[in-house]
């Protein structure tokens, strides 16, 4: 869950402009772990809400 930890620790600078560019460091990287069930949406929500 490094994407969620990084997002909660630093925010997501550049996300608004770089979210559609996969190799940009502006994405959270959470799509694959969510897609393959490695992390639940509830766990991500809880990490961000804290």
Give the Å distances, CA to CA, from 47 to 23, 29, 32, 34: 24, 15, 17, 14
Give the Å distances, CA to CA, from 31 to 19, 22, 42: 12, 11, 14
* Successive 10-residue mean pLDDT values, the chain, 50 residues: 56 66 70 87 83
Assigned token pair, 12: 């997501």
**How high is the pLDDT of residue 30?**
80
Q: How many domains does the chain have?
A: 1
**How high is the pLDDT of residue 5?**
60
**How high is the pLDDT of residue 36?**
92
Assigned token pair, 50: 């804290």
Whole domain around residue 6: which residue ranges? 2-49
* Calpha distance 29→3 (Å, rounded): 5
């Amino acid at each position: 869950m490094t994407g969620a930890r990084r997002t909660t620790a630093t925010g997501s600078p550049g996300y608004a402009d770089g979210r559609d560019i996969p190799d940009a460091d502006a994405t959270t990287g959470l799509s694959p772990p969510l897609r393959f069930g490695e992390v639940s949406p509830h766990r991500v929500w809880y990490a961000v809400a804290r």
